[in-house]
Amino acid sequence: MCYGDDARPPQPPNPGPVGEHGSVVLQSADGTSFGGYFAHPASGPAARGIVIFPDVRGLHVFYQELAQSFASAGLSALAFDYFGRTAGIGTRGEDFSYREHVDALDFPTVASDASVAAAWLRSHGASSLFTVGFCFGGAMSWRQAAAGDDLRGSIGFYGIPSRVQSVVDEIASPLQILAAGQDFTPVAEVEQFADRVRGHGVDVRMTVYPDAGHSFFDRAFGQHQEDVADAWRQMLSFVEDKA
């Protein structure tokens, strides 16, 4: 688990007002309903959109608030839940027993549902689409670069490269890797993954925060606020360059 109930996403630099935001029910390709949470800038749906892949806890409050943070940075954002097939639509609070539902997931289904989330953003005006994810979601975000969604880029925090292994040679859109030097995944392993993707001519931007641990992107982690601020700058620069 990346983020507990006391975690809160940090704000982007110079945040603006948030417009319409709230819950939405999406329909998967196999007919399953699953939950999402969207946020638009105050000016309305934006041309730049981002699909948010949560950690293993699914769509809990951290990712709902993160959607609003991206909206305050000028993007339309949609965070989606992984567990519609096994847990239905509902709150993923501290008492949610996520492990059994994670064990029932398969990666192609996650990718298919993410494609539905991307299509929802496109139907609301987004023409340049990105993904971002954390821990389990970080790897799933990178995998989405092989899903044929015509993404402009996929961002991942604390992702485990082995979870991308089966599609690594199919990645077709740029990646951004934001790695914690004190994470349980060795930086060398992440660097090898980046180099393999680069070997296919795909642009990969990788930033390592040497003193940061897993889940450092949290405004409650006061000792890592410089890294947090830089991570926002890196993400927004990536979006600006690739849009």
pLDDT confidence tier of residue 1, bands split at 50, 70 and 90: low
Query: Which residue type is seen at 68?
Result: Q
DSSP state of 155: E
Mean pLDDT of 25-45: 97
- Neighbouring residues of 103: CB distance < 8 A, sequence distance ≥ 6: none
Rg of the chain on CA atoms, in Å: 16
What pLDDT digit, counting tens, does each position of 46-82 carry?
A: 999 999 999 999 999 999 999 999 999 999 999 999 9
DSSP state of 9: P
Per DSSP, helices labelled H in the chain are 61-72, 84-87, 98-103, 107-123, 136-144, 187-198, 225-242
What are the extents of the domains in the chain? Answer: 18-242
Phi, psi (5° rounding) for residue 173?
A: -120, 160
Q: Is the pLDDT of residue 3 over 80?
A: no
What pLDDT digit, counting tens, does each position of 189-242 carry?
A: 999 999 999 999 999 999 999 999 899 998 876 678 899 999 999 999 999 999
Q: What is the mean pLDDT of the chain?
A: 95
What pLDDT digit, counting tens, does each position of 149-195 carry?
A: 999 999 999 999 999 999 999 999 999 999 999 999 999 999 999 99
Question: Regarding the domain delimited by 18-242, which CATH topology (the fold level of the hierarchy) does it fall under?
Answer: Rossmann fold (3.40.50)
Compute the distance between CA of residue 151 and CA of residue 113 in angstroms, rounded to an integer: 15
Burial class (CB in 10 A: 0-12, 13-18, 19+), 109: middle
What percent of the chain clears pLDDT 90, i.e. is strictly above it?
A: 88
**Rounded (10°) angle between helices 136-144 and 107-123:** 70
DSSP state of 90: -
Pick from 18-32, 100-114, 218-232: least confident: 218-232
Burial class (CB in 10 A: 0-12, 13-18, 19+), 124: middle
